[in-house]
Chains A and B, each alone.
Chain A
Amino acid sequence: MVSQPIPSELTNSVHEPKKPRATLRERLGHRGERRVGLLLSLPYITFNAIFWAVPFFWVFIIAFQHYNLLSPIRPFVGLTNFQAVFTSNALRYVSTATAEFFLVFVPVTTTTAILLALAVRRVRYLKALFLALFLLPSVSPQVGYSLVFKYMFAGDGVINHVTHAIGLPPVPWFTDPTIAMGSIAVVVAWRMAGYFALFFLASMQSISPSLYEAAQLDGASRWKIFWRVTWPMLNAALIVTLVLSVVTGFSLFAEPYLITNGGPLNATTSFIMILYQRAFNFLQLGFGAAWAIVTAAISLAIVTGLRRLLAQD
């Protein structure tokens, strides 16, 4: 996932806010407008009927079929595929691995991003350069930096050489199952932390300076000013970055695929990796479809919960 400017859809919606009900003529517009409007959106509607709406329903049909690419017979098998998903070992270890990912990724990115934003808001020189560097990793090809981190953090890689030089024992970053997913999370955090910082910075910039002046006049400490004035205003940015974190965690693929290939002992296998293995290596599309639906349902449930939190503010 390249960092696209998506987050606004979380706070806005495409359709306009409700206005008082207009007359029919107002709602339908002039004749020319009507024709042009429909003409302009027709390609999009047609295309997405085929490549979005049809697959949207089709995935549910496939999930109820025994759909193996090698066999032309695709009988309906009821809930068998979902049963297979829920009783599979894969769901257990992938859930554990994904939870571990969030456990490391969320604190690391959130702390780093807030500190980066606080720092860059403060400085006067080189601001543009720092901002440009923040976004640099998130537009960098995933396959490229995954290979870099794979060898930098390898058992005999440069990081362990450096730590050895200062007298620390080597760390098996990607080969010890207890820390491998944490290491992957740090790699992904490298990509996302600066990007997240930009959201926190935008929130901070929206705080009126008079609030800070008032707090300073009252003699509040720096620490107190951060927690009482700045922190409450970061709520929206926090939820947006949390939603992006969830999306990142559930679409994780390139990093574990290249660095660990899901190992050691499946400790870094992600939801998408199982989809890839089962549907396209083992050609079990029925299982793959059911797996994809379960994955989507879990991530959607979490994202919806987070958006509720945002709406409450």
Chain B
Amino acid sequence: MRARWVDAVSYLFLIAGSLWFLIPYAWLMLSSFKPTGQIMTTLWPSHWTFANYLFLVSSAVAAGYPFLRDAFNSVFIGAVDTIAVVVFGAMCGYSLARLRFFGKSWLGKFVTLQIIFPGVMFVVPVYVLITDMHLLNTYGAVILPGLMTPWSVFLFAQYFRGLPQELLDAARTEGATEWLIIRRIVMPLSASIFALVALFTFTASWDALLWPLIVISSHHLMPLTPAVSMFALSEYTSSNFIGAQMASAVLLTVPLLVLYVSFRKLFLQGINLSGGLQI
């Protein structure tokens, strides 16, 4: 019993939803190539211009907004945090899932507790900590607090728990050391979870606004996200510079879009891990 009209309504609704999701991107891209006067009034640019992008790499830099440098900062900070989160998260997750040691159940409870408590509580004391470490306005201030995250431990532990125990036991009976088991059996079986945690960590780091805004004041050390937001709220907030703001928003948005489009299966799998979604 397949009613045609239900199919039709479903497609219509999905297409409407997709347009709702896509129109802001289309508007953003088009606006960044429009002469500024046309952004608020015209849908399609009467002629295409690179002026907004040229402004970003020339006048904006001269005015103290080095966007390309900030993009590099974002990549650098994101890369360091991602590598650390993956390495230390996998280590701790593996020990929680697969090894027996003193204090293990406490550690598990600790990680759960960390996930439960909201991040808002930690902003002020970590700021004081970073200040006391004399790290304010350095890369370290942004990188350090993000080096290890509880949810990465949680995801790794959940994944490693699903590996077949017989495999590890067989290797142990053969006399393999724990290190050999990790390197030769566990790691090759777990490429997808490593990629997944890496993707989500990098995305979160790229998107962070509040924390870098608080601890970085130098425009040369700032990641792209706070830089774009400061630019948009600065003296360039007036309608003469909307085009430049849109170009900076493109610079901020496109890298994550490319990452998402390239790895969309993995991103969807991330939801799958917790919800049991069949794609």
A32 to B95, CA, bound (A): 12
Question: Are A115 and B13 interface neighbours, CB within 8 A?
Answer: yes
A299: chain B residues at CB < 8 Å are: 118, 120
A195 to B267, CA, bound (A): 11
Given contacts A8-B273, A130-B14, contact A43 B88 (CB under 8 A): yes
Question: Are B225 and A4 interface neighbours, CB within 8 A?
Answer: no
Question: Are A253 and B101 interface neighbours, CB within 8 A?
Answer: no
Residue among B40, B128, B229, B279 making CB contact with A143, cutoff 8 Å: B229
Residue among A62, A140, A295, A303 making CB contact with B125, cutoff 8 Å: A62
Which residues A53-100 have CB closer than 8 A to chain B? Answer: 54-56, 58-59, 62
* Interface assignment of A198: CB less than 8 Å from any CB of chain B: yes
A41: chain B residues at CB < 8 Å are: 91-92, 95-96, 101, 107
B89: chain A residues at CB < 8 Å are: 44
A184: chain B residues at CB < 8 Å are: none
A107: chain B residues at CB < 8 Å are: none
Interface SS of B by simple majority: helix
A289 to B128, CA, bound (A): 11
For the complex, count residues of A whose C-beta is within 8 A of B.
Answer: 116
B271: chain A residues at CB < 8 Å are: 5, 135, 195, 198-199, 202
Nearest first, the 10 A-B pairs at minimum CB distance are A29-B100, A37-B101, A8-B274, A15-B108, A37-B99, A55-B125, A202-B275, A144-B253, A44-B92, A119-B10
Question: Are B276 and A202 interface neighbours, CB within 8 A?
Answer: yes
**How many residue pairs between the two chains, A and B, have CB atoms under 8 Å in the bound complex?**
340
Determine how close the nearest CB of chain A comes to the CB of B215; give it in whole angstroms.
9
Q: A96-131 CB contact bits vs B (8 Å, 1 = yes)?
A: 000000000000000010011011101100101111
* Interface assignment of B158: CB less than 8 Å from any CB of chain A: yes
What are 11 of the A-B contact pairs (CB < 8 Å)? A9-B116, A13-B112, A32-B177, A34-B99, A38-B103, A55-B122, A157-B40, A198-B275, A199-B275, A251-B120, A275-B124
The residue on B at minimum CB distance from A259 is B232
Question: Are B277 and A198 interface neighbours, CB within 8 A?
Answer: yes
Q: How large is the interface on B (under 10, 10 to 19, 20 to 34, 35 or more residues)?
A: 35 or more
* Interface assignment of B167: CB less than 8 Å from any CB of chain A: no
* Interface assignment of A254: CB less than 8 Å from any CB of chain B: yes
Given contacts A5-B151, A29-B99, 11 further A-B contacts (CB under 8 A): A2-B203, A14-B96, A33-B178, A36-B101, A52-B122, A122-B7, A147-B232, A148-B24, A149-B24, A253-B210, A288-B123
A124 to B135, CA, bound (A): 55
The residue on A at minimum CB distance from B251 is A144
Question: Are B99 and A36 interface neighbours, CB within 8 A?
Answer: yes
The residue on A at minimum CB distance from B269 is A5
Question: Are B277 and A133 interface neighbours, CB within 8 A?
Answer: no
